[in-house]
């Protein structure tokens, strides 16, 4: 029976990897590969590479051919840390995609390097007060939490 490590070793034999800086530099040349983000929706919503296509890893086989019909295009797959993207790259190869690369280090390394990302704005808050009692109870709760934190801070000094 194979281990996770075995699967990753096998994937690295067939899927080339690029560092985040190499991907950034490649994009700066004007090359336009498909950027495929295989992270979950919550991760995508916190930020992603500009122009990326989002298909969560668990839906890859189901959605990829509809969203990426040209199997000859260059595809750079990324996730949060470079593991899911490597396995997704292997799956893409098995599905007939010819030019697949995994971004080593994933979106985490991309952010750590300070490279540009598309971050959606936070959702707008509803400015209408539909339940004043609820808002008052939330404020009271937050004030209690703050008081506890202040007390904890005082005791630690």
Q: Are 57 and 41 in contact (CB under 8 A)?
A: no
49 is a domain residue: yes
Cα 125 from Cα 140, distance rounded (Å): 20
138 is a domain residue: no
Share of the chain above pLDDT 90, in %: 71
**In this predicted model, what pLDDT tens digit does every residue of 86-124 receive, in sequence order?**
999 999 999 999 999 999 999 999 999 999 999 887 767
Catalytic residues: 79
CATH of the domain at 25: 3.40.250.10
132 is a domain residue: no
**Overall number of domains in the chain:** 1
- Neighbour tally for 91: CB within 10 Å: 18
8 is a domain residue: yes
153 is a domain residue: no
Model confidence, pTM: 0.76
Give residue 72's domain range.
4-112
66 is a domain residue: yes
Hey, what's the torsion of the CAs at 85, 88, 93, 98, to 10 degrees?
A: -50
Task: Tell me 68's DSSP state.
Answer: -
């Amino acid at each position: 029976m194979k281990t996770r490590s075995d699967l990753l070793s096998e994937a690295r034999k067939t899927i080339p990897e690029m560092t985040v800086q190499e991907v950034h530099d490649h994009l700066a040349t004007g090359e336009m590969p498909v950027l495929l983000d295989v992270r979950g929706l919550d991760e995508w919503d916190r930020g992603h590479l500009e122009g990326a296509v989002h298909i969560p890893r668990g839906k890859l086989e189901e959605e990829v051919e509809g969203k990426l019909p040209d199997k000859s295009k260059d595809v750079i797959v990324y996730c949060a840390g470079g593991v899911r993207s490597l396995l997704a790259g292997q799956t893409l190869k098995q599905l007939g995609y010819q030019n697949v690369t995994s971004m080593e280090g994933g979106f985490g390394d991309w952010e750590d390097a300070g490279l540009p990302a598309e971050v959606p704005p936070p959702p707008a808050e509803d400015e209408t007060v539909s339940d004043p009692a609820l808002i008052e109870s939330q404020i009271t709760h937050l004030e209690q939490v703050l008081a506890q934190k202040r007390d904890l801070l005082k005791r630690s000094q």
